[in-house]
Amino acid sequence: MHPNAVTLALVVLLGNLMLPFVSAQNAGFVKSPLSETKLTGDTFELYCEVVGNPTPEIQWWYAEVNRADSFKQLWDGARKRRVSINTAYGANGVSVLGITRLTLEDSGTYECRASNDPRRNDRRQNPAITWIRAQATISVLQKPKINASDQTILTADTSGKPVTLQCNLTTAHTPHKESFWMKNGHEIPNTRTEQRNTTYRITKPRADDSGEYMCVYTFDTAPNANATIEVKAKPDITGHKRSENKNEGENAMLYCKSVGYPHPTWTWRKVDGTSYTDIDNSTGRFFITNRDNYTELNILNLDINTDPGKYECNATNVIGNTAETTILRVRSHLAPLWPFLGVLAEIIILVVIIVVYEKRKRPDDIMDDDEPVGTMKTNSTNNHKDKNIRQRNTK
C-alpha cells in the first residue's frame, strides 16, 4: 500500500475513534442575512454562516409579502435560473443566496435555516424546534424612469465641438434628493444639483474624454437610480517607448498606453520592411500583458541576431485603431569594453607614431658628445700656426 494512503487511513481511523470524545454543539449563527431595498433589474446576495458540531446543514426559504406563514424552500436554479445557491461545509457552514434581474414579485422574506439535529428532516418533528432561523426582508421597487442622451462618438470631424450629455428623471417612486455625474465609476466634481433635468458639458472633447458617463439620482428612502451614456472614441496611444537599448542575454520591456473608449484590443508584431510577424505568448521568450488601456511586451534572453528591429503595438476598438513603433537595439557582450578598447587603441597608435618618428630621424641631427665640431676647428687652426713657426726657424 502507498505510504500516503496508509497515513490518510490512519488519520481517518483516529478521527472516527475520537468523535465520541468531542462534545456536541448546537447550531448557531455567525453571520445572518441583512435586509435590503433594491430596484427592478438589480441583483442581490444574502450571506449566511453557521457553526456547530457536527457542522449544521443550511437551507434557504422564501415567503411572499404579507404571507409570512407560508414559506417555500428555494433551490439552486429556481425562478427561471435567476436563483443561485452556493454552500460550502467545513468547520463552519457558509451559504450565499443570489437572485438576478429582480422583479417586483421577488419582494418578500428570505430565511436562512440551519440545523445539526439528527431529527431535523423527520416530518413528525416541529421544524421550529429542530431548525434555527435568520430572516431578511427584500423590498423591490420599480426602477425610476430616466430619459438619457444617446451614445456619442468622437471623431476627427467633431473634434473641438462641444458635447452635451443630458438626463431627465421623468417618474420616480419617491421625490429625489439630488443628482450628480460620474465618469468610469468616479464622481465628477461640482456636478451635484437638485434639478430633475441635469446636463454635463464637454467643452473641447478629445479621446481621453471618452468613457462611460452616468447620471445618478439619489433618494432619501430608496436606492440610487442611474442611467448610462457612452462616449466613444478610437484609441489614441499617448505613451510608448520610442527606442530601447539592451545587451544580448538581457531582458527587454516595451509598452504602450492609450486613451479612448471602449478599451482596445491590443496586438504586437515585429515589422521587417513591408512584412511583419505577429507576436504572441507561444514562443516561451515573448510575453504580452494587457490591461484595459495598457499593454506590455517582455522579451527574455535577447538574441543579437534575431531580436533587434521595429516592434509595433496596435490598439483596436469598434471605432478605429492606432499603432506606434518602438526600435529595439541589441548590443554585443563586448559593448561595455568598447570605451576601454578605444583608449587602448589610441595609446597603441601614439606609441607606433613615436617609434616610427625616432627611426626616421636624419643621422646629421645626432650630435657626438665626445668630439664636438667646435673643438675640431680650433685644433686645426693651432696645427697650421705650429707649422708656420717651424718654417721660419729653419730659414
Do 183 and 211 meet the contact criterion of CB atoms below 8 Å apart? yes
Tell me what pLDDT residue 245 has: 92
Q: Are strands 163-171 and 243-247 parallel, antiparallel or unpaired?
A: unpaired
Q: Is 191 exposed, middle or buried (0-12, 13-18, 19+ CB in 10 A)?
A: middle
Q: Do 246 and 219 have their domain in common?
A: no
**CA-derived radius of gyration, the chain:** 45
For every residue of 152-209, DSSP letters joined together read EEE-TTTTTS-EEEEEEEEE-SS-EEEEEEEETTEEPTT--BS-SEEEEEESS--GGG
Q: 322 lies in a domain?
A: yes
Which of the listed residues 74, 106, 141 is the one where a domain comes to its end?
141
Q: How many domains does the chain have?
A: 3
pLDDT in tens, 296-325: 999 999 999 999 999 999 999 999 999 999
Q: Of how many residues is the chain composed?
A: 395
In which band, very low, low, confident or very high, does the pLDDT at 11 lie, cut at 50, 70 and 90?
very low
Cα(298)–Cα(235) distance, rounded to whole angstroms? 22
**Model pLDDT for residues 331-358, shown as the tens digit of each residue:** 887 666 667 777 888 888 888 888 888 7
Would you say residue 375 lies in a domain? no
Query: What's 90's domain CATH number?
Result: 2.60.40.10
Is residue 371 a part of any domain in this protein?
Answer: no
**C-alpha triplet 107, 64, 128: angle, nearest 5°:** 125
Distance CA(327)–CA(371), nearest Å, equals 73
Pairing of strands 186-187, 176-183: antiparallel
- Angle 28-33-34 from CA coordinates, rounded to 5°: 135
The residue-averaged pLDDT of 65-80 equals 90
Classify 205 in phi/psi space as left (phi over 0), alpha (psi -120 to 50) or beta.
Answer: beta
Prior bond of 262 cis (ω within 30°): yes
Same-domain status, 257 and 225? no
Lowest mean pLDDT, pick from 77-86, 128-137, 191-200, 380-389? 380-389
How confident is residue 16, by pLDDT bands cut at 50, 70 and 90? very low
Res. 5 pLDDT band, cuts 50 70 90: very low
Is residue 111, in this structure, part of any structural domain at all? yes
The domain containing residue 128 runs over which residues?
25-141
Residues 131 and 156 in one domain: no
Task: Indicate whether 389 belongs to any domain.
Answer: no
Helices (H) and strands (E) in the chain, counts: 5, 25
Provide the pLDDT for residue 362: 57
Q: Which long-range contacts (CB under 8 A, 24 or more apart) does 64-71 make?
A: 64/105, 64/107, 64/108, 65/107, 65/108, 65/109, 67/108, 68/109, 71/109, 71/111
Q: Decide if 37 is inside a domain.
A: yes
- How far, in Å, CA of 314 to CA of 316, rounded? 7
Q: Which pLDDT score, from 0 to 100, does residue 392 have?
A: 47
Domain check: are 100 and 208 in the same one? no
* Chosen domain end from 300, 331, 362: 331
Confidence of residue 9 (pLDDT cuts 50, 70, 90): very low
- The mean predicted confidence, pLDDT, of the chain is 85
Question: Do residue 211 and residue 274 come from a single domain?
Answer: no
- 376 within a domain of the structure (yes/no): no
Query: Which pLDDT tens digit goes with each residue over 202-230?
Result: 999 999 999 999 999 999 989 999 999 99
Q: Are 247 and 153 contained in the same domain? A: no
**pTM across the whole model:** 0.69
| pLDDT 10s digits, 87-118 | 999 999 999 999 999 999 999 999 999 999 98
190 and 247 inside one domain: no
pLDDT for the residue 85: 97
pLDDT of residue 283: 84
Q: Which of 256, 213, 214, 235 is nearest to 154 (CA)?
A: 235
Same domain, residue pair 36 and 135: yes
Specify whether 127 is located in the same domain as 64. Answer: yes
C-alpha cell at 164: 452635451
Domain boundary among 233, 254, 280: 233
| Predicted local confidence at residue 335, as pLDDT | 64
Residue 34 shares a structural domain with residue 137: yes
The residues, any chain, with a CB within 8 Å of residue 219's CB and separated by 6 or more, are 172, 173, 174, 175, 176, 177, 225
Task: Answer yes or no: is 395 within a domain.
Answer: no
pLDDT at 10 (0 to 100): 43
Omega of the bond leading into 175 within 30 degrees of 0 (cis) = no
Residues 51-66 pLDDT 10s: 999 999 999 999 998 8
Judge if 43 and 127 occupy the same domain: yes
Are 55 and 95 members of one domain?
Answer: yes
Cell of 175: 421625490
DSSP state of 19: G
